[in-house]
Chain A
């Protein structure tokens, strides 16, 4: 059982500002169901450009809900300039601290806030910044580097606690270590070793996995997926139905289809969409 502070428990049992504001000034959505937590933050400004109202909807564990609730409380009454200065550490501090394995919940809050402010300012929503390092949780080198710098992280385990990177198949551990080393001006390089299936085995296994579980899962949401080709480790697919028009289709591809194929077939696979 996690050692949660009374404040975390309070914000979990009695969450403040649950819901979604109609016609909000800013919206920030981060995370996904596959990742285990997701947060949708909405806010509205008053005539003095201060945050009048902030609401959240969260899918996740107790600390994710508590972090979201705390964030909305912290936001109300602040100007956007003030709000922008809120860090993930501030959210954790507000709650009297979070277990170290749960720090990613506070990062989720910070990320949603950042997105909501971008949204308000009409900035083009930030595309995935940098290169994906952790394929399991879709975390980029830029995000890891930022977490390392801002929170003075020293180990892979700490990086996993803050941004989830490295918490899945662990194939990216050496790359995460390299980022940590680079931040602290030391370098160490070596490449991970991987093993291979034959081409025919790989294609069969991909088809089987798609048929058995990925297609049924997508069909439940009115979508579907079609295997177009397998070129080395590049799995080319076409999204059909609601998936083809869904804004979250890239998340579905990376966080669900790709993770599942990597798990069932080979960790080297990359899923690409063919329009």
Chain B
């Protein structure tokens, strides 16, 4: 059975070009970049080249790039640096729809002496910018706003927030894990202080992340150890993955246009097809403010995990915001923050595409998902009411 992979906001396939670029550093070039011999030293030069490629992707200077182990480490590092650099300030602003890497850390800080303002979103997942602006105070140490939401795909107004915060002495950090590689991200133009990137969301392997730290930003390391990453992140470099991420960054630049055109068209075809063929299906997220690869649809009267497992039988991979898929009993905090009723949130499915997807795959899903929903609805004690409502 062929796998139809439409869960690229969860993780992506390692691009064959990326894997090829990595293999020599797993086979032959195993030297330590910190060594005095040229066998290790040449590895150091390749790391520097990869750093430049990553910097180019987001228009940063290579010196502003710190390699980490993942997006979560980047987030933790940024937040800890901001807090330790501003010990007198006890207020944090973030959103109600952040990834757990941010959300759970701020919840922890809220229990440990910090006041956290959680900026709401509206029913289309759009950030309440006035609320954010209205809560900025002299006590604010850091503002963390994700660049794009992983579940709804809604893109947040990072440029405008950066403009608002400029020259206020507040650190502005963005978790751009979902945005980088899918839409243009230019840190110089935007003017934010720190930004997190994850390798495995842009066709590099898992276990590699990046924290961008703008020149001149106060910083203190989270991982304390050796002098690597100019004393900002101790630990021997994950050489092969860094090289891979460099290659992935080059590919990401060259694929941006394709994502904006061909992948966007595939997403729209999938979305329109499903909404047309399946009654009582609702789109989650503001239609024209989303990442070009993401669609999140609620199918009323059915439960997400059941849909996912039925799709799994056909090799289709996607995600759900239902409670049953998360191991918790409540549906996704993102959908709840958007005010999606529990009844619809339980039946939400997110498809996230990549350049590897094809029209044939999209049409296969449009063909095969409606009968799955129909089958599950026939099993559901609530569906009759729904059918009546349609008349």
**Which residue numbers of A lie inside 8 Å of B, CB to CB?**
2, 12-13, 15, 18, 20, 29, 33-40, 57-62, 64-65, 101-102, 136-137, 160, 164, 167-168, 212-213, 217, 220-221, 256, 259, 263
Smallest Cβ distance from A85 to chain B, in angstroms? 26
Q: Which of A33, A164, A212 contacts B342 (CB 8 A)?
A: A33
B309 within 8 A of A: yes
Q: Interface on chain A toward B: helix, strand, loop, or mixed SS?
A: mixed
Q: A68 — nearest CB in chain B belongs to which residue?
A: B379
B331-352 with Cβ < 8 A to chain A: 331, 336, 339, 341-343, 346
In the bound complex, residues from chain B placing their C-beta under 8 Å from that of A39 are 381
B306-320 with Cβ < 8 A to chain A: 306, 309-310, 313
Smallest Cβ distance from B101 to chain A, in angstroms? 21
Q: Which of B302, B313, B341 contacts A213 (CB 8 A)?
A: B341
Q: What per-residue 1/0 map shows which CB atoms of B270-312 lie under 8 Å from chain A?
A: 0000000000000000000000000000000111111001100
B378 within 8 A of A: yes
Q: Which of A34, A60, A168, A263 contacts B303 (CB 8 A)?
A: A60
* Contacts known (A29-B381, A57-B380, A212-B339); A167 close to B329, Cβ less than 8 A: yes
B322 within 8 A of A: yes
B346–A33 touching, CB < 8 Å: yes
In the bound complex, residues from chain A placing their C-beta under 8 Å from that of B301 are 33, 59
A217–B341 touching, CB < 8 Å: yes
B330 within 8 A of A: yes
List 5 A-B residue pairs with CB atoms under 8 Å apart, sorted by A's residue number: A13-B313, A33-B382, A36-B324, A136-B330, A221-B389
In the bound complex, residues from chain A placing their C-beta under 8 Å from that of B380 are 57-59
B342–A59 touching, CB < 8 Å: no
In the bound complex, residues from chain B placing their C-beta under 8 Å from that of A101 are 327
B123–A62 touching, CB < 8 Å: no
**Most chain B beta-carbon neighbours within 10 Å: one of A20, A33, A167, A221:** A33
7 shortest A-B CB distances, which residue pairs? A167-B329, A61-B324, A61-B305, A57-B381, A40-B381, A34-B342, A33-B343
In the bound complex, residues from chain B placing their C-beta under 8 Å from that of A160 are 329
In the bound complex, residues from chain B placing their C-beta under 8 Å from that of A256 are 341-342
Q: What per-residue 1/0 map shows which CB atoms of B122-160 lie under 8 Å from chain A?
A: 010000000000000000000000000000000000000
In the bound complex, residues from chain B placing their C-beta under 8 Å from that of A40 are 381
B349-391 with Cβ < 8 A to chain A: 378-382, 385, 389
Q: Which of A2, A57, A137, A212 contacts B123 (CB 8 A)?
A: A212
Q: Which of A29, A33, A65, A217 contacts B379 (CB 8 A)?
A: A65
CA distance A37 to B342 in the complex (A): 11
